[in-house]
Amino acid sequence: MSLICIQDQDEYFRNGTFASVLFQCAIPVHIDPEVDMAYAEQCVEHFNHLSDQMIDKFCEMAIAYCEFMRKEWKEFEDVYPDIVEDIQREIPEKLHGREVLAFLTTPEMYIEPPEEAVSGYSISSACVWEPEHALDWIIRGDKILYVGPCEGMGAWQEEEDYEKDLSSQFPEGVWCNGSCRCSGSLRRFRCIHSGCFRRSIHQHCSKCRSSR
C-alpha cells in the first residue's frame, strides 16, 4: 500500500499527503515531477522512522531558533508590537523538548531529485516566532543540515552553504548539535558551524571554524 496519496499536480510539484508519525496527522508532501515515486516513498518512510536522538536534536535547534527570534522581535517591539504580542500570548517562556512541535502549525514535506543514494528532503512549517520566513528543517540521511528560516535551499547543496546561510542570518550563532569537543580559554565568538548555538565556548574547537 502506498504511503503517499497523490491529489493533484501543478507545474512545480506532484502534491499529496501522508500520515506523519511525528506530527500525528496527515501532512502535505510536494514532490518534484522528476522524482521517482519509489524514492518519494523512501523519504516518507525515512521521516516516519527518525531516531529519537534526531527528533530531540531538531527540537533543541527549533527552540534555540524560537528563543533567538523572541529576543530579536522584543528589541523592535515599538515597530512590530503585534508579533511580540502574538509570541508572548502563544509561546511559553521556556519550551522544553518536544513541546515545540505543537507550535509548528503547518508542516509540509518537499522532495527534490536526489544527488546521493540517501533520503534527502525538507520539512517547512509556519511558526509564530517568524511569521514571514517560517521554519525549515532540512534532512539528508542521518544529518540535520539546517534548522532556521525558509530560504528555499533544499537538501542537496554543499554542507558549507547551510553553514554560511546560518552565519549570515544569525551572526552570533544560535545552534548547537551538542558535539563540540574543544580545549582552551572561554571567549565570546561568532560561529559558522551549523550545529552551534553556544555564545561562549572554548576557543579551540574541532567543529567550529571561526571565532571572534
Is the predicted pLDDT of residue 208 greater than 60, yes or no? no
DSSP three-state, residue 175:
strand
**pLDDT above 70 coverage of the chain, percent:** 77
The residue to which cell 554560511 is assigned: 164
Residues in Cβ contact with 55 at an 8 Å cutoff, skipping those fewer than 6 apart: 22, 98
CB 38 within 8 A of CB 45: no
pTM over 0.85: no
- Give the residue ranges of DSSP H helices in 12-122: 37-47, 52-75, 81-90
**What's the pLDDT tens digit per position in 5-37?**
999 999 999 999 999 999 999 999 999 999 999
* Average pLDDT of the residues in 147-169: 81
**What's the pLDDT tens digit per position in 88-143?**
999 998 899 999 999 999 999 999 999 999 999 999 999 999 998 999 999 999 99
Closest CA to 184 of 161, 165, 208, 163: 208
pLDDT of residue 152: 84
Q: What is the CA radius of gyration of the chain?
A: 18
